[in-house]
Structure 1
């Protein structure tokens, strides 16, 4: 039976979380909202509407959502030609694919953004499928994105490992019955990832690759 290696993208495979922080902060500032950057950072990984609800709460006007999201998207797109992949990402994905794992990207990115991220990762030959926010009704931390990814590759939860960098990733994976692995390169503390369900935590993709033999991948 096939095994599935599910990966979040922003902050997990690409060093892009802080670009999103700046883009959301500026979009919110332009609309008259003063939100600390550290609060924005802790919300990265949520779908746009959920992120805005999380940040603005009672001050949120849903009628502004599309305008705020469009402003974020426009600002973030200015970096599309130079999005940085994290070290050893392509090697990690190719090593897993070469060992029989079906690699699936599970992301909240939209199609144009995902294309830019895939160019940065530069390992299309190792990627079997992608699951985006457009494919599901609810984004992370709901389990639907993970469940959809599993359906794409016809793999049961017990034969999968999900790698992400946020508490939203960990919660989505565990709610779907999938082993969750956390990475610290997105800027979220180890304790928070473990509390959210991470079975193991590594510094970054290079660290996970170096320790793959004693990671949850070796036990799945």
Structure 2
């Protein structure tokens, strides 16, 4: 029976969360909103319009939302040629694929952004499919992105693992019925990831790879 190893990308496989924080902060500033960077950091992992809604609330001019999202996309796009993968991210995915896992990405990124992230990770040979937030009606923390990833993999939730770095990832995975592995490299505290549903936590992809045998992703099957 197929087993799926589902991965978030930003902050999990690529060291990009703080680039998103800075570019969202500037996009909000250009639209006349003073949003603290620490608040933006805690919202990273949500889809663009959910992030704006989370940070600005209902008392706002919603006609600005598309412009704010477009500004963030443009600002972030200036980094596409140098997005940094986290240490051993590609090696982890290739190891899992060789161990019999079907590796699927579950991300809100798409288009040129997703292409740039995949170039940075450099493990396309190990990635079977990508589930984008554009493919589902609701993004994380709703379970739909993870469920869609499982459908692409043809794997049941009970034999699948979701690896992410935010509370939104952990909540989405828990609601989808998969085992959740949290990584600290996105900057979210261990206690928050645990409370949101992480079964076990590692520092980053390199730490997970080094301790793979004892993790929920250990062994072949």
Global fold match (TM > 0.5)? yes
Mapped pair 1:182 → 2:179: no
Alignment of structure 1 residues 98-117 onto 2, 5 Å: 98-117=98-117
Contact kept, 8 Å, 1:52 with 1:60, in 2: the verdict is no
Post-superposition shift, 1:44? 0.2
Mapped pair 1:47 → 2:52: no
Find the residue that maps to 1:217 and give its secondary structure: coil
Distance 1:42 1:60 in 2: 20
> Match of 1:89?
89
- Matched length: 220
Q: TM-score, normalised by structure 2?
A: 0.98
Mapped pair 1:21 → 2:21: yes
> Match of 1:208?
208
Distance 1:122 1:217 in 2: 21
Post-superposition shift, 1:153? 1.2
> Match of 2:159?
159
Structure 1, unpaired ranges of 5+: none
Distance 1:111 1:5 in 2: 22
> RMSD of the TM alignment (CA)?
1.0
Find the residue that maps to 2:217 and give its secondary structure: helix
Post-superposition shift, 1:59? 3.4
Post-superposition shift, 1:106? 0.3
Post-superposition shift, 1:184? 0.2
Structure 2, unpaired ranges of 5+: none
Contact kept, 8 Å, 1:161 with 1:181, in 2: the verdict is yes
Q: TM-score, normalised by structure 1?
A: 0.98
Deviates more, 1:200-209 or 1:54-63: 54-63
Contact kept, 8 Å, 1:53 with 1:60, in 2: the verdict is no
Deviates more, 1:54-63 or 1:91-100: 54-63
